[in-house]
Amino acid sequence: MTEPLLVDRTEAVVTLTLNRPTAMNALDVALKEALRDTLAEVEADRSCRAVVLAGAGGSFCAGQDLREHVSTLESSAGKPLDTVRAHYNPIAARLASLPKPVVAAVRGMAAGAGASLAFLADIRLGGPSTSFLMAFAKVGLAADTGASWTLPRLVGHAKAVELLMLAEPVRADEASRLGLLTRMVDDDETVLPAAQELAARLAAGPTVAYGAIKRQLSVADAGTLADALAAEAQAQAICGKTADHRAATLSFVNKQKPVFEGR
């Protein structure tokens, strides 16, 4: 049986590949459970210092597997959207709070929950064929997998309303202009290698500080200046005690290149 999620470890970088290419990596229960559980393992793995999220084949992720969902709708047992609480919410919460950098290699289409997954990454790389589609309204649904939180932060409230309600595709150049993509490469074939190269660069950096940066930005996004200042003080108290900070400061004084160990 083909594994729904491929896990590749190259030194300190873990690449998680959604592996249902014949279905555009649509999210069925097996894939959602594998992603949810593997993210928990990755968070606890101290040897992992950066994560790449990718899709097999020519697409990133088409979102919810609607063929499977039809069966759920037709079944008299359970609630059809229980998957939001059981799968999508835990995945979104884990990705957003993961204390290490997450890079999304967005090749081809990212639709619905697939787009939402990409938006939860810290950095998103795309190529000429990359496109996003907030497809929820096309099937009579509102946003999920954190899109109502991430999308306004990326493009602003008014644009988020437009993307969610009109559900029109956003091609690569426009996605880059809007901030849905962080970086673009010229060739679709190089999207994943470029994402892995960037993740390796981040993995070699001060990953404790990266985790603290993610936490303090999350607080500042929704809080007051006082909240942000408190989060900054807490972050610096944590980072200031790390071996990375001490070694990097000494390296700077001695005009040497620092070596970070993530501790």
pLDDT tens for residues 154-198? 999 999 999 999 999 999 999 999 999 999 999 999 999 999 999
Global pTM reads: 0.93
Helix axes 89-97, 207-222, angle to 10 degrees: 120
**Strand-pair category, 183-184 with 131-133:** unpaired
Mean pLDDT score, 227-240: 92
- Are 133 and 109 in contact, with CB atoms under 8 Å apart? yes
- One-letter amino acid of 232: E
- Class of residue 69 by CB neighbours under 10 A (exposed 0-12, middle 13-18, buried 19+): middle
As a whole number of angstroms, the distance between CA 97 and CA 86 comes to 18
What's the mean pLDDT when you consider all of the chain? 93
Residue 45's alpha-carbon distances to 11, 16, 49, 214, in angstroms, are: 12, 14, 8, 18
Please report which confidence band the pLDDT of residue 250 belongs to, taking 50, 70 and 90 as the band edges. Answer: confident
User: Assign residue 6 a region: left if phi > 0, alpha if psi is -120 to 50, beta otherwise?
Assistant: beta
195-209 pLDDT, tens per residue? 999 999 999 999 999
* 57 φψ region: left (φ > 0), alpha (ψ -120 to 50), beta (else): left
| Amino acid occupying residue 97 | S
The tokens for 194 are 């470029």
pLDDT over threshold 80, residue 151: yes
pLDDT of residue 118: 98
Q: What is the pLDDT of residue 252?
A: 83
Give the phi and the psi of residue 170 in degrees, each rounded to 5: -115, 110
